[in-house]
Amino acid sequence: MKNLFTLIMAGGAGTRFWPRSKAARPKQYLNIFGNESLLQSTIRRFSMFTETEKIFIVSGKDQAKVLEEQTTMLPKKNLIYEPVGKNTLPCIGLAAMFAELENPDGVMVVSPSDHLIENDELFRDTVLAAVKIAVEQNGIVTIGITPAYPATGYGYVKTAQEITGNEKIRQFKVDKFVEKPSEAIARGYIEQGGFYWNSGLFVFKIQVFLDAVKQFAPDLYADLRKIQAELGKPTFEQTLDTVYRSVNGISVDYGIMEHANNIYLVEGNFVWNDLGSWESVYLNSEKDASGNAVSGEAVVVDTHNSYVFAEKGVVALVGLEDVIVVQDGDTLLVCKRSKAEEIKKVVDQLKAGGKTHYL
């Protein structure tokens, strides 16, 4: 499609993948599976059916080095740097301003940069079904993942009436977006049916999206127009910095999706995981007969259902069950799989002790 833009949001930081993710190299830049990073996998997946010249990435200046290293397949002008992170709505709005100048009739797909997605063809078909709805209905379309279990770590989207028109991929009007639920409530969602995991993947016509911003976040809309007016001028950087720092940081879910009426959902049945922890990486990794997932040089003796990543050197595991071992540079994590959420305590303690060189 000639007028299909992609925005990959790559500004995220995060500590749940310590010690591999560090301040200067968050999760999206890690080659967690295979040889390419999660960001590079995301770009490759879109480049199979869109033009790489129309793939934009928004990130922070502090990630410029690793971002440029990993995106040599894209025009450098497509790398957009926020002066400061402001959540998803300003981020998407900023990219929409860039894309609108190139093609005011453009359609945009918004995607996270750090999720696991398999079944590339089904992914493509699902995105293109969402594009079709977005164009035909003048809607903002989210891709909802068919829930595999009552997850408490994801937000949900509740659907309303189904829309006919696609034989393979179901599509609905959206009733509402709901926050991460308790397990009891999540179980209710699954029994009740009609609930999908919120994947963070959106599709819309740029004009439809900007109209929604104008209606539901008029101050932000005005600020984005100010920034757009400077694009290509020597004063652009300064204006971006001044104006963008003053906008409200708000998510697209809160800022638009919960208010607008023209929200649609297309059902995603490809393999999807937001990779929220080392535990989810283990669960999504290929394992040997003992249930071990090993990356790098390791000697594994009498050990089961464990995850090992060795960046260099050799790691030996003896007599262990259900552990995560991650060696990266001069940092090492050994963690019981069921306690992966507590890694943030390690990061907090290192921070409190002034050991930021390990972060």
Positions that interact with a copy of itself (CB under 8 A): 18-19, 297, 299, 301-302, 310, 312-320, 323, 325, 327, 329-336, 338-340, 342-343, 345-346, 349-350, 355, 358
Nearer to a copy of itself, 10 or 317 (CB): 317
Minimal distance in Å, beta carbon 149 to a copy of itself?
23
What's the rounded Cα separation, in Å, for the pair 140 and 155?
18
Q: Which two tokens stand for residue 112?
A: 């996270």
DSSP string, 265-312: EEEE-S-EE---SHHHHHHTS---TTS-EEESSEEEES-BS-EEEESS
Give which of 203, 266, 144, 137 is closest to 5, Cα–Cα.
Answer: 203
Minimal distance in Å, beta carbon 324 to a copy of itself?
9
Residue 250: phi and psi, rounded to 5, are -150, 150
How many other C-beta atoms can be found within 10 angstroms of the C-beta atom of residue 132? 18
What's the rounded Cα separation, in Å, for the pair 126 and 270?
9
Nearer to a copy of itself, 217 or 343 (CB): 343
Minimal distance in Å, beta carbon 322 to a copy of itself?
10
Nearer to a copy of itself, 174 or 343 (CB): 343
Minimal distance in Å, beta carbon 349 to a copy of itself?
5
Q: Which residue has the tokens 């976040």?
A: 217
Helices 206-216 & 88-102 angle (0-180, nearest 10): 140
Minimal distance in Å, beta carbon 325 to a copy of itself?
6
- In sequence order, what E strands does 179-274 have? 195-205, 263-268, 272-273
Nearer to a copy of itself, 259 or 339 (CB): 339
Minimal distance in Å, beta carbon 339 to a copy of itself?
3
Nearer to a copy of itself, 190 or 300 (CB): 300
Nearer to a copy of itself, 20 or 132 (CB): 20
